[in-house]
Amino acid sequence: MSDPTRDSAPHEVEPQADLIHRYAALGDSFTEGLMDGEGDTFRGWADHFAIALSDSPLSTPELQYANLAVRGKVLHQVVDEQLTFALDTKPDLVSFVAGGNDCMRPGAKVDELASVVENSIVALRREGIQVLMGNGYDTSAASPLLRALRSRVAIYNSHLWTISQRHGCYMLDLWGTRGLYRAQMWAEDRIHLSSEGHAVVAEKALSTLLNRSAEKSGFKIPKQPAKPVRERIAHEALWVREHFVPWVGRRIQGVSSGDSVTPKYPDYVPVSQIR
């Protein structure tokens, strides 16, 4: 695998002997793949990425894949419940995307969150495991209620970039992927990606590992089609009633959407089984 810390200009890597044989995905609903599929089992960007990775020059076609991510998990739960698996099994690659649920909670202390992330990354890198980190979305394109989180997410992202540089990790730059900020990329709850959004992230993840240079896209959020004021207000009220209020209710009750959910791939399976 190419060295993510080198200073040379980005280019597409050539096949190498040091191939990825095992990949473990850690995280929350984002990595579990919520809203990509129907029923209780979702696919998501990590599944799509694992398939694409197995077809790439970075991996073997017999790639083994585990996904321990569970919806609703906050950072300390990801660390306590998922990190040990990666440290014990020592895969060649781990994706670690967590902390988003923490950032949505009142009083979140992003400096402390960053310290927890760094300790986890250090533990993985000490075992020689390559790590694909991921930062947070730019919430300025979301509901006004979520838009208020923008500065908090930006600070958290700054810490994550520092950690990735310190410890030689790859960074899945969700904040900078401007193509994600179109309405069709998001599910109705405005928090989780749609199937189309998951596909974009999977492609971005593979490009990141291949060290391909991205097209310059600037930082403007794509403009959405204008809607009449009444329609916007009605749409916002519907979102608050159906998605935001239930989320607040779970926080008050101290329950999580993932309390009864188990990881979909708690141990390694051949990628050929999930195609």
Statement to judge: residues 164 and 237 lie in one domain: no
Residue 72: domain span: 20-212
Statement to judge: residues 36 and 104 lie in one domain: yes
- Per-residue model confidence as pLDDT tens digits over 103-152: 988 899 999 999 999 999 999 999 999 999 999 999 987 777 788 999 99
Statement to judge: residues 167 and 240 lie in one domain: no
Statement to judge: residues 87 and 195 lie in one domain: yes
For residue 168, what are the CA distances in angstroms to 32, 129, 268?
A: 25, 11, 25
Does 44 fall in a domain? yes
pLDDT surpassing 60 at residue 238: yes
Tell me the pTM: 0.86
**H/E stretch holding 102:** helix 100-103
Statement to judge: residues 208 and 249 lie in one domain: no
The answer to whether the beta carbons of residues 211 and 168 sit under 8 Å apart is no
Strands 59-67 and 265-270: antiparallel
Residue among 100, 103, 136, 96 nearest 118 (CA): 96
Statement to judge: residues 75 and 154 lie in one domain: yes
- Angle of helix 150-166 versus helix 110-126 axis, rounded to 10: 30
Domain count across the chain: 2
